[in-house]
A and B are shown apart, each in its own frame.
Chain A
Amino acid sequence: MGGNESIPTREAGQDDLYNEVSDQYGSALERLARAYEANSERRRDLIQEIHFQLWRSFQRYDARCSLRTWVYRVGHNVATSHVLRERRILSRLVSLEDLEQLPDAANPLQAEDRGGDLERLSRLIQQLKPIDRQVIVSYLEDMDAAAIGEITGLSPANVATRIHRIKNILARRFQQGGHHAR
């Protein structure tokens, strides 16, 4: 997935633009929704909400930023709003820093987890505060620090620190099963 795709002109219809983006980023948006919602029914609603807001947002698309940045911003912002609505969940979320310092045994989700690697990875992401989720999802989508900074609004140094933490956490959590996080 590259950031240098052709940018449609403003004249392109809202529906055409949406169809194009839906084809190109549909799977990525599903993955994004998985990072924010564990329940499959609610995740389906969230995906629909993201698509709806994306379609709506194209009334205002002016190519000020790349289409990819636009799509991810809408996706993350809708999903963040979804998380913030759930106050009970909000109070339990942790930052990357907290997660890095937390011993694996002290992490109840990790200890109880009997699912596959994807399930473990999803649960790990779903524990994080929204801004850290944005960074880890962007990292897992193979974006560079500049693209992550553009989506999240964090400074390059801040993004670099967070990516470093993410690598540490992933390596520590997933190497235990004999797997290696790069």
Chain B
Amino acid sequence: MHDDSFGNDPKTLWQNQPAEVSKMTLKLIRMKARELHAKTRRELFGSIAVALAAIVFSGLGLARGEDLAMQLVFVIAIVWALTGQYFLHSGMWSSTLPPDAALSAGIEFCRHELERRRRIFRRVLWLSAGPLLLAIGAFTMPIVAAGIRLDRGLSGKTIPFLALLGLWLVALLYFRSQGRRELEREIIELNDVEK
């Protein structure tokens, strides 16, 4: 155990704290670069999974061969999911820093990062979760409608599924809006810092 009592002042304490990590080598740096690429790929796959789910639901809906209007909705969901992925990944979904990070002073970079994250929040909701919700909605609506039409109500199997779906939707919207509000508050506070 080292002795970290003040002795004199916080600056001395801070500057004389014990070293923790062994020196980084260029070999380690290159390894880190590979890890970062792998991480970005994982994030990409995570995001693609949502689009794939939307496409699967839409595909199932199309295969079921409901009326033309419903089939059109499924086609819209597929197109929406595919174009959404294109826009999501066109240079904005990266775990790396922007290359000019060092040219930005702290406050400028901070604002840029907060605004980038707010944009990602908005876009992910509309471009990724949006088509999935449309596909699920279109897929489940005929089941609900059939139950009502035949005056059987909803079956015991459908109710838990719909309840879970509803809960997931409410939680998704709640956490997304809370996150966005938090980021907006941070941006306002950051603007106040400069006044």
Chain A residues within 8 Å of B, Cβ to Cβ: 15, 18-19, 22, 26-27, 30-31, 34, 40, 43-44, 47-49, 51-53, 55-57, 59-61, 64, 70, 73-74, 76-78, 80-81, 84, 87, 90-91, 95, 116-119, 121, 129-131, 134, 139-142, 150-155, 158, 170, 174, 177, 179-182
Q: Which of A84, A118, A150 contacts B105 (CB 8 A)?
A: A150
A117 near B5 (CB under 8 angstroms)? yes
Q: Which of A81, A90, A116 contacts B182 (CB 8 A)?
A: A90
A78 to B108, CA, bound (A): 13
Q: Which of A49, A73, A90 contacts B186 (CB 8 A)?
A: A90
B106 at the A/B interface (Cβ < 8 Å)?
Answer: yes
From known contacts A90-B182, A117-B5, A142-B11, infer whether A153 and B102 are also in contact, taking CB-CB under 8 Å: no
Chain A interface, DSSP helix/strand/loop, else mixed = helix
From known contacts A31-B17, A80-B113, A140-B15, infer whether A119 and B4 are also in contact, taking CB-CB under 8 Å: yes
Nearest B-chain residue to A138, judged by Cβ: B106
Q: Which of B110, B182, B190 has the most CB of A within 10 A?
A: B110
1/0 contact string of B1-18 vs chain A (CB within 8 Å): 000111011110111010
From known contacts A84-B114, A140-B15, A142-B15, infer whether A77 and B104 are also in contact, taking CB-CB under 8 Å: yes
Q: Which of B8, B20, B96 contacts A182 (CB 8 A)?
A: B8
A25 to B190, CA, bound (A): 28
Chain B interface, DSSP helix/strand/loop, else mixed = helix
B20 near A179 (CB under 8 angstroms)? no
From known contacts A18-B29, A47-B24, A51-B32, infer whether A74 and B101 are also in contact, taking CB-CB under 8 Å: yes
Sample (29) of A-B pairs whose CB atoms are under 8 Å apart: A22-B23, A34-B17, A34-B20, A47-B21, A47-B24, A48-B32, A51-B24, A52-B29, A53-B101, A55-B29, A59-B99, A73-B106, A81-B113, A84-B114, A84-B117, A91-B182, A116-B5, A117-B6, A118-B17, A129-B189, A134-B106, A139-B11, A140-B14, A140-B15, A153-B105, A155-B194, A174-B6, A174-B10, A182-B11
Q: Which of A19, A55, A87, A121 contacts B10 (CB 8 A)?
A: A121
Q: What residues on B are CB-neighbors of A52 within 8 Å? A: 29, 32-33, 36
> Nearest-CB distance from B1 to chain A (Å)?
9
> Nearest-CB distance from B6 to chain A (Å)?
4
Q: What residues on A are CB-neighbors of B117 within 8 Å? A: 84
B93 at the A/B interface (Cβ < 8 Å)?
Answer: no
Q: Which of B4, B5, B6, B15 has the most CB of A within 10 A?
A: B6
B109 near A51 (CB under 8 angstroms)? no
Q: Which of B9, B96, B104 has the most CB of A within 10 A?
A: B9
B92 at the A/B interface (Cβ < 8 Å)?
Answer: no
Q: What residues on A are CB-neighbors of B114 within 8 Å? A: 84
B110 near A182 (CB under 8 angstroms)? no
B190 near A131 (CB under 8 angstroms)? yes
A151 near B23 (CB under 8 angstroms)? no
A sample of 10 more A-B contacts (CB under 8 A), given A27-B19, A49-B32, A142-B11, is A51-B29, A56-B96, A57-B99, A77-B97, A80-B113, A129-B186, A139-B11, A151-B106, A179-B5, A182-B11
Q: What residues on B are CB-neighbors of A44 within 8 Å? A: 20-21
Q: Which of B5, B20, B26, B105 contacts A19 (CB 8 A)?
A: B26
